[in-house]
Structure 1
């Protein structure tokens, strides 16, 4: 295969990959958006649970309802479990996107390795004002894959660290979530997809 043919094949593969990532990004963003109110609800619930722990029911007008405290705690626990189950589903959605993107990116790099012998250095770094180089686009794919992998792992760890005996930490879940997103440049993927939108016209 000639160098020109190899470049064309890689461009076509990159086009398919970035288009697939665009679709996955929509699913990713939906899952991230859905996590926010669930974490806020968990935070509010933790605040209620902590307030409940501070109340001595026997010293209140509610002392005539001896089972009330136990019932209330049970209800709060069930509500927390339900929220955690929903969050687990959203994190599973993030994992699906991460796995899918890793597969797409792996296919592109496998194709690149197959044609690396006929691709000279100049072909990899050649670019125009409108078209980035192959080297840049391959690096962007690495960055995108790393972004999905890091956010998924950090969100998974955040859920694993939730403990009912540590209610103050549960109350800070929304802030912890925002730090994960900010630390991992939430707009990076969309910015990259805009840079390669030209591929649709090639």
Structure 2
């Protein structure tokens, strides 16, 4: 099963994060069959669906691998598990339910992190797609009540759900639609969520 790796650190280390992942982009693709999806400089909280603002105020890198084993091996070989690699970073892995759409036209992800695993039961069914696919997006790219912690500095999410959009404009069109309004209405009712929009470059 394909996995994506989240690497999260403070904004003070964003250049170090970018240098690290982009220096390994060729190795990720050629040796591990993966893809560097990019680095996100600013994640935008989706109010009123975000209670936990702390974790949004970070820089993020996202990397896709064909399997968990590929991801784990890369992180070890590349030295990302060493204490001197971004000492304040979090690294965790999430299995994918669908294939990520690749390319510069697909950099935007709507991510919901759960502060408590108990809250997963209150999320809308993963079968409720909010017509994201009608707007050209990929609904429910990932959906799990468990994230695979590799390194932990902050409090890691207890679960996560991810949707992919073509770009920020495509997301805004969906968000301003009836389906986007329904999404906000459903998610604002659940406490302890951190829902944000992340665009990767």
Shorter-normalised TM-score: what interval? under 0.3
The structure in which a higher percent of residues are strand is 2
Say which structure, 1 or 2, has more relative contact order (CA 8 Å, 6+ apart): 1
CA radius of gyration, larger in: 1
The structure in which a higher percent of residues are helix is 1
**TM-score, normalization: structure 2?**
0.21
**TM-score, normalization: structure 1?**
0.21
